[in-house]
Amino acid sequence: MIKRAILVTTASLALTSASPALADAHVEPDSEGISADAMDQAMSMIGDLFEAEELTDEQLARLPAATTVVSTMLPEGFYSELMADMMDSIMGPMMGMMSGELAATGVLASRLSADEAALQELSAEQKIELASILDPAFGDRGVVMETLMGDIMTQAAIQIEPVYREGMSRAYAVRFNEAQLADIAEFFETPTGAIYATENMKLMADPQVMSASMQALPAMMSQFGDMEARMEEAFADLPAEKTYAELTQAERERVSALTGIAVSELEAAVLPPRDDDMAGDSFIDEGPDYGGATAEEAVVEETM
């Protein structure tokens, strides 16, 4: 069965690619993971982190002009169309992965206790045939997933579009003065400006942009390869966490006052620092153990 985590990950990728600053979009949590209440609380906290300042009177006066400009760029139904383009760019390659040799390899690894070397000698067609025998719906899961994702993203776009348009309008009111907004609106009335107004935002979902972004991922991820060592070095000059024994009496009394825990009970309540905090468990995930499989094969196997 395809894990809901893949759907959530794909949806998040599409949403953040189309709107990097969209911090408060609600995504249903995985039933095996964090609770809905905890997810809502986390999303609320993230939204608070990105809370914008109130517009000044001058900026509020420019808001109607800014809204007119943004409405030209983001007409009704724009976000749904953008999401459709984005999903085509993202889901296309993923669907190929879900129904091709890589996915078949994942099915065989999870369903067959056989000699690994013998399985590797099979052709792509033979692997897919075997996977289809074990899972008659093997070739259809990608289609079902794509349809489901389309429905999810359409509903998400309907909810996001008015909020996104409002945010863009306020941003334009902040960043452009009245004369500049008038110049932009005048440009949008020209043939070239009209095309640019509608195509500019769509460029984020253009296959050329998506391809370049995906090609840049390995270089970006490689920067995290030595993160553990760099983190330890960066924290080297910081004072260590205090144990209970290292707290002064005044600090103990203050902790007691703030928490309501009696000073006499504080020693049992204050847990010792974790020895591995700076080794990576708290800040850096060393990554999963794929048991000899590649990361790609492990991801595919997890989705089946």
Mark whether 117 and 240 lie in a shared domain: no
pTM above 0.75, yes or no: no
- On whether residue 295 sits in a domain, the answer given is no
Total structural domains within the chain: 2
Model confidence over 159-179: pLDDT tens digits? 888 998 999 999 999 999 999
Mark whether 59 and 153 lie in a shared domain: yes
Cβ within 8 Å of residue 143, ≥6 positions away: 95
Distance, in Å, from the CA atom of 17 to the CA atom of 276, rounded to the nearest integer, reads 34
Mark whether 73 and 177 lie in a shared domain: yes
Q: Whose CA is closest to 134, among 97, 94, 105?
A: 105
User: Whole domain around residue 116: which residue ranges?
Assistant: 4-224
Q: Whose CA is closest to 221, among 229, 210, 213?
A: 213
Mark whether 190 and 123 lie in a shared domain: yes
Model confidence over 174-231: pLDDT tens digits? 999 999 999 999 999 999 999 999 888 888 778 788 788 778 878 878 877 777 888 8
Mark whether 215 and 242 lie in a shared domain: no
Cβ within 8 Å of residue 113, ≥6 positions away: none
Backbone angles phi, psi at 235, to 5 degrees: -90, -5
Mark whether 94 and 69 lie in a shared domain: yes
Mark whether 208 and 177 lie in a shared domain: yes
Contacts 24+ apart (CB under 8 A), 199-207: 200/73, 201/73, 201/74, 201/78, 201/82, 202/81, 202/82, 202/85, 204/17, 204/18, 204/82, 204/86, 205/17, 205/18, 205/82, 205/85, 205/86, 205/88, 205/89, 206/85, 206/89, 207/89
Model confidence over 62-84: pLDDT tens digits? 999 999 999 999 888 888 787 77
